[in-house]
Structures are given as C-alpha cells and as structure tokens.
C-alpha cells in the first residue's frame, strides 16, 4: 500500500512510547483488516486530497457485520452511519475517511463497492447499504471548493485495500491534513495486550487538529520548543480515530473503547477545541457481529467481561497517541493554498529525536 521508501516512524527516532506494538505497529495487525488509499495531488491546481479506505473484514464476498461503538468528543464534523451503530451495536461495510466536502462522493463510492462486492446479498433480499464515511477539513493545503473527489476515487481506495504496512502522512484522506501546525495526515499504531486472553488493539487516525503550543510528545513540550512556522491562532481542525481489535467485546464495551480515544488524542495536548470535529469509532472482528443466523430467534455471543477491560483501554490510549505522532513524523514541507504562497512545515525529526537522546 505504500509507494516509495518507508519513512522513519516515531519509534525509529527513539521516542519512548510505552506498550508493546504488533509486528507492523499498524491497524492491519488486527487479522482481516485491510487499508487502501487513493491520493490526489496536483500542486499546479492547488489540489492535495484523497480517500482512505478501511475494510474491517477485507474483501470477503459475503457481508459479515462487526460489532462496533462510536463516540464524539466534539461534534463539529461528520461520520455517517453512527446513529445505527449507536442503536444496533454492529455495522456492515467499509469505512472511508476523506475531506469535508467529499463525504457525499465517498458515500456513493462505498455504496457502489458494497453492491459490487456483495452482489448476491443485494440481489436476493431487501437490503440496504449504510457505510461509514468520516471527514476532516483540508482547506489550508487543498482547494476544497473544487470538489475533485468522486465516487470513482472512493472505489479506487476500496479496491486498493490490502493487509500489510500502512502508508502514513500524505496518504489518502490524510494528504491535505495538518496537526499542531505541522504537516500530518494519516497515522497508525497498534498494541498487544493480555486481558483474559491475548489481543491486539490498533488505531488509524486522520490527524488535522491542534495548536503548536499544545503539542506534547512522550511528556516533552515539543510544541513550545519548536515554535517556528506557525499557521493559525485558533483551532479549526478535526481528528478521526478508527480503533480495531480482535478482542470479543460487546457493543457497550466498544463504545467505552471509542471514548478512550479522547484520552489518547489528549495525550499530545489538544483539549478538543470548539471548532474541532473529534469523532471516534471502535470495532471488533471477533465472532460474527453478534447477529443471529437467518431464521433463528436467539443467538449466543462470547464477549470479554467488563472486569478485564482496563488493559484494553490502556492499549487503545497508547495506540492512538502513537498514531498521532506517527502522522506528524511522516509529514513533508507542503505549500499552502490559504494563504497562498505559504508553507506548512514538516516537523524537524532530527531535532525531535535529539530531545529524547
């Protein structure tokens, strides 16, 4: 999924994040989860945007729901499909993350992908598609008013989804995003934990939030120590967090896990500003989404006891925190559209590493 040589990630710089990551330190450490991107860049036209696709159960031809829970720390943003997740506790289909004005196009692309992938399901029954599409605003680095994202771009991201390493920074929907006034975008991380069994919990973020003075990395006031190149004086960005796990969690527990994303995001310093859309979704690939088999009135669900959730919560917090920093570390200097002629700087990774040497 990643084009070009891999960049150094936060751990490669010697940043002392706690916890034990999975082999890829990515959301794809949760078996079955696949990620794809469609990245659209045309500097001459001021375009820098895209679509990120997450498939909780890969490209399987049969629709198979996952249990899920949702939480909004601050609601100045969009994530479709969450009303049903809140009421039903499970969810079917892909997850897309894009820019604010592309939600409709991405939603149509996701519906088309579901009709294509689950053709037998839609042919033989009264079925409907209700994908999750989330967004953050990329108008500083992208001429968002051009509406360049189309359903075809969403389809391209979905068809490109694969297991394996996940491209960070300016990939997919993260292409035009900024965090703590550094170039950022897509970031991911994972944790292994023991909680009544051995589990993986992992995060993918689209980081587009925060002010420079707030930025704290592993307890160090990095933003205060790197004040140069500021872009804004009031937070108007957002962050989307998608959490995946193979732990058999109830929808109520998954909503509680989604809430902990707020603590993970807060570790880097943001208070969740009034202008920010901080919206989080957690899902579990364990079991069959808690759904009864066709024709059956009862179902039996195996789920982790609430008494064992604390290690899951901690793993979620740690994964989200590291994913945000990975998004920032992957950034590159990028020209701004608003104001024209400016530059959104990448964080100086050598300087960052020196703070922890």
Provide the number of structural domains found in the chain: 1
Q: What is the pLDDT along the chain (357 residues), one digit of tens a residue?
A: 434 456 789 999 999 999 999 999 999 999 999 999 999 999 999 999 999 999 999 998 889 999 999 999 999 999 999 999 999 999 999 999 999 999 999 999 999 999 999 998 888 778 899 999 999 999 999 999 999 999 999 999 999 999 999 999 999 999 999 999 999 999 999 999 999 999 999 999 999 999 999 999 999 999 999 999 999 988 888 999 999 999 999 999 999 999 999 999 999 999 999 999 999 999 999 987 656 666 778 888 889 999 999 999 999 999 999 999 999 999 999 999 999 999 999 999 999 999 999
Residue 85 in any domain: the answer is: yes
Residue 1 in any domain: the answer is: no
Catalytic, 171? Answer no
Of 29, 138, 246, 278, the catalytic one is: 278
Of 171, 190, 276, 284, the catalytic one is: 276
CATH of the domain at 49: 3.60.70.12
Residue 225 in any domain: the answer is: yes
Catalytic, 278? Answer yes
Q: Residue 40 sits in which domain range?
A: 11-288+299-351
Are 244 and 202 within 8 A, CB to CB? yes
Name every residue whose Cβ is closer than 8 Å to that of residue 160 and which is 6 or more positions away in sequence.
1, 36, 37, 38, 53
pTM value is: 0.96
Residue 4 in any domain: the answer is: no
Residue 335 in any domain: the answer is: yes
Residue 230 in any domain: the answer is: yes
Catalytic, 238? Answer yes
Of 170, 190, 238, 284, the catalytic one is: 238
Residue 32 in any domain: the answer is: yes
Residue 357 in any domain: the answer is: no
Are 279 and 72 within 8 A, CB to CB? yes
């Amino acid at each position: 999924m990643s084009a070009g040589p891999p960049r150094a990630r936060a751990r490669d710089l010697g940043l002392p994040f706690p916890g034990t990551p999975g082999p890829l330190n990515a959301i794809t450490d949760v078996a079955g989860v696949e990620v794809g991107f469609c990245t659209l860049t045309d500097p001459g036209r001021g375009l820098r945007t895209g679509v990120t696709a997450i498939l909780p159960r890969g490209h399987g031809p049969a629709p198979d729901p996952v249990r899920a829970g949702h939480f909004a720390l601050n609601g100045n943003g969009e994530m479709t499909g969450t009303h049903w997740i809140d009421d039903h506790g499970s969810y079917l289909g892909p997850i897309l993350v894009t820019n604010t004005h592309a939600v409709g196009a991405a939603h149509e692309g996701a519906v088309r992908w579901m009709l294509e992938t689950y053709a037998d399901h839609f042919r033989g029954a009264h079925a409907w598609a209700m994908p999750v599409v989330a967004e953050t605003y990329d108008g500083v680095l992208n001429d968002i008013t051009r509406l360049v994202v189309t359903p075809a771009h969403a389809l391209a991201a979905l068809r490109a989804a694969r297991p394996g390493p996940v491209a960070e920074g300016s990939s997919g929907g993260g292409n035009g995003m900024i965090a703590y006034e550094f170039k950022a975008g897509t970031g991911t991380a994972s944790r292994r934990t023991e909680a009544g069994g051995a589990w993986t919990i992992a995060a993918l973020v689209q980081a587009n939030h925060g002010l420079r003075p707030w930025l704290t990395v592993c307890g160090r006031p990095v933003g205060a120590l790197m004040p140069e190149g500021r872009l804004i004086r009031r937070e108007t960005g957002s962050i989307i967090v998608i959490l995946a796990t193979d732990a058999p969690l109830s929808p109520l527990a998954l909503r509680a896990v989604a809430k902990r994303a707020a603590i993970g995001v807060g570790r880097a310093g943001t208070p969740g500003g009034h202008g920010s859309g901080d919206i989080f979704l957690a899902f579990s690939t364990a079991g069959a989404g808690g759904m009864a088999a066709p024709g059956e009135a009862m179902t039996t669900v195996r789920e982790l006891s609430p008494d064992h959730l604390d290690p899951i919560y901690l793993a979620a917090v740690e994964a989200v925190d590291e994913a945000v920093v990975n998004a920032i570390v992957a950034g590159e200097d990028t020209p701004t559209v608003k104001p024209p002629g400016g530059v959104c700087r990448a964080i100086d990774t050598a300087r960052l590493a020196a703070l922890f040497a």
